[in-house]
A and B are shown apart, each in its own frame.
Chain A
């Protein structure tokens, strides 16, 4: 058998660069609500980023914000936030929504 395929993964298991391979689908288009972070309430604990399924919470140095290109609007970040700093707002309320 002649193998023509060039490996996508460097490892035996399917481990990859999350930024390139994980954030590759247009999951942002699935969203009906978006997480809005209250910077005053956020104490930068990072729990939202840890729980975010597509790992799209961006570290803004003093708070986190969702990368809207990939945020599916699942709301887990808002549920997990101990300070209730994240609110899920319907997309219809935004000009770009």
Chain B
């Protein structure tokens, strides 16, 4: 591979980007049910099919549980599949999510992050992806519209890799990115074909075909269950380096790199590091630039890969820092810290004793804005100088 041709630049919403990303990867079967804030993806893919741009079976389903079961079955039969959902839709397919990962089906799904059921909140938040944390899926969080498109393409390379074979959930902030139109370079479909071509070089994966009876599952074999789960966990471990490799391949070919599991910004000489994810990381970078001008050595880690958790790379970057601040857009019920902060705390023995400050912000469409991030950096900075600090802060509750 040399490098890709320049693609067409269009100003489109994150949802439209999701539909374009899927279409470019030539899925065989698409099944999606519309739900706010993802509906445009289901509508556009249906339109692409009607216009003859998308050569796929588009299965109209009566709900998300069927959507996931349809793409799961098609995937097990050897098809390349795509679906998209959000919030209520994601939890409605909760059992099927686990079937998909248990079957090691390389399903690619887009999830436009939204708060979850309970208090009927039609607004942005990452609670849905947190609710699906232990389903055995690979979960990736992206920051902007271009990254949605690029990550969908990379997701197929990852999901269908013979050494991985796992479903991938590409997450982006609903309402923020789903309805935000940005300039996006849409690659030529031939270049996407070329990028995905290495998948054809690998051994064909086992398929379920009519007329050939085959056992699919562990049917009362206890050790079969243990073996399948062990292999699943091993595959999740392999995902980490694979994400970095695919990111490099993608960057070499299309000219856009995202850092793989995590993206670092001005961390080289940083005393303190802020960890965040999704669309808010753009604002964090801006504030970091301002604070750097004031002499505060602060950097950012944008967490891209949430499951599997990029433990090794995080430890490498965070070891020896004077203080760390984590901004969570979701909750970890039963713990006072936010979920990503909780995950990071599991690495405390490797990172070493350093103040770790948890911030809950951006729930229910509330902006993680410049003053909020300035406050986070000021407080983490003070903690780095040995001053007393508050472990957990719900920023909107203090305003």
Residues on A facing B (Cβ under 8 Å): 5, 7-9, 11-22, 24-25, 50, 55
Q: Are the CB atoms of A13 and B165 closer together than 8 Å?
A: yes
**Could you say which of B206, B210, B217, B220 contacts A11, with CB atoms under 8 Å apart?**
B206
Which A residues lie within 8 Å of B218 (CB)? 14
Which of A11, A14, A22 has the most chain B CB atoms inside 10 A of its CB?
A14
- Complex Cα gap A18–B209 (Å): 13
Residues on B facing A (Cβ under 8 Å): 102-105, 165, 206, 210, 213-221, 223-224, 226-228, 230-231, 235
Q: Are the CB atoms of A21 and B235 closer together than 8 Å?
A: no
Which B residues lie within 8 Å of A5 (CB)? 223, 226-227, 230
Which B residues lie within 8 Å of A22 (CB)? 213-215, 219
Which A residues lie within 8 Å of B220 (CB)? 24-25
Which A residues lie within 8 Å of B230 (CB)? 5
**Could you say which of B104, B214, B223 contacts A12, with CB atoms under 8 Å apart?**
B104
Q: Are the CB atoms of A25 and B215 closer together than 8 Å?
A: no
Task: For the complex of A and B, list the 7 residue pairs with the smallest distance between their C-beta atoms, beginning with the closest.
Answer: A16-B215, A13-B104, A22-B215, A18-B213, A21-B215, A18-B215, A14-B228
Q: Are the CB atoms of A55 and B213 closer together than 8 Å?
A: yes
Q: Are the CB atoms of B213 and A8 closer together than 8 Å?
A: no
CB distance from A61 to the nearest CB of B (A): 15
Which B residues lie within 8 Å of A24 (CB)? 219-221
CB distance from B306 to the nearest CB of A (A): 22
Name A46's closest neighbour in chain B (CB-CB).
B211
Name B162's closest neighbour in chain A (CB-CB).
A12
Name A7's closest neighbour in chain B (CB-CB).
B227
- Complex Cα gap A56–B86 (Å): 40
**Could you say which of B206, B210, B226 contacts A13, with CB atoms under 8 Å apart?**
B206
Which B residues lie within 8 Å of A7 (CB)? 227
CB distance from B164 to the nearest CB of A (A): 9
**Could you say which of A9, A17, A55 contacts B228, with CB atoms under 8 Å apart?**
A9
Q: Are the CB atoms of A13 and B228 closer together than 8 Å?
A: yes
